[in-house]
Copies of this chain bind each other. A is one copy, B any other.
Amino acid sequence: MNNESMDRFLARWHAMIDAGDSRALPDLLAEEVEFRSPFAFTPYRGRVAVAGLLQTVIQVFRDFHYHRQFVAGDSAALEFSAAVGDFSLKGIDLIRLDETGRIIDFEVMIRPANALLALGEEMGRRLAA
């Protein structure tokens, strides 16, 4: 893991988000990735489960935009804004890469509480469908 790996990861990540095409997502995740959602303390584990969750979130968010971007070693913090239903929200993607430059740990925090709960309801509807 070096700065070049992080730069390459971020370029691929933003290209995927900008294109609105999450087919590239699984190859950006480590096999043993852990996803720490805004809803549950216990992480979700594994590429297939996490890719499915993230692809659902990407579909639920409207007007998704990244803002400030922070990098420190093998980790990055990406500030974003989006809308869910009638609510505006802010969030952080907190990402750690493994030595192959894939996400091994992905943590998402969202505010405020009413938008977080609206996102949870919409996620529940989609995942139950």
Instruction: Name the distance in Å between A83's Cβ and chain B's nearest Cβ.
Output: 11
A56 CB–B CB distance under 8 Å: no
Which range holds the interface residue count of chain A? 20 to 34
Contact of A113 among B38, B79, B90, B91 (CB under 8 A): B38
The binding surface of chain A is classed by DSSP as strand
Q: Which of A22-30, A57-65, A69-77 contacts B (4 or more CB under 8 A)?
A: A69-77
Cα–Cα, bound, A68→B74 (Å): 10
- State whether the Cβ of A84 lies closer than 8 Å to any Cβ in chain B: no
- In the complex, chain B residues whose CB is within 8 Å of the CB of A79: 77, 94
Query: Which residues of B have CB within 8 Å of A92?
Result: 77, 92, 94, 109
Of B36, B109, B111, which contacts A37 at CB under 8 A?
A: B111
B72 & A90 in contact (Cβ 8 Å cutoff): no
Contact check, B68 vs A69: say whether CB atoms are below 8 A apart.
no
Docked CA distance A111–B107 (Å): 9
> Are B70 and A77 within 8 A (Cβ)?
yes
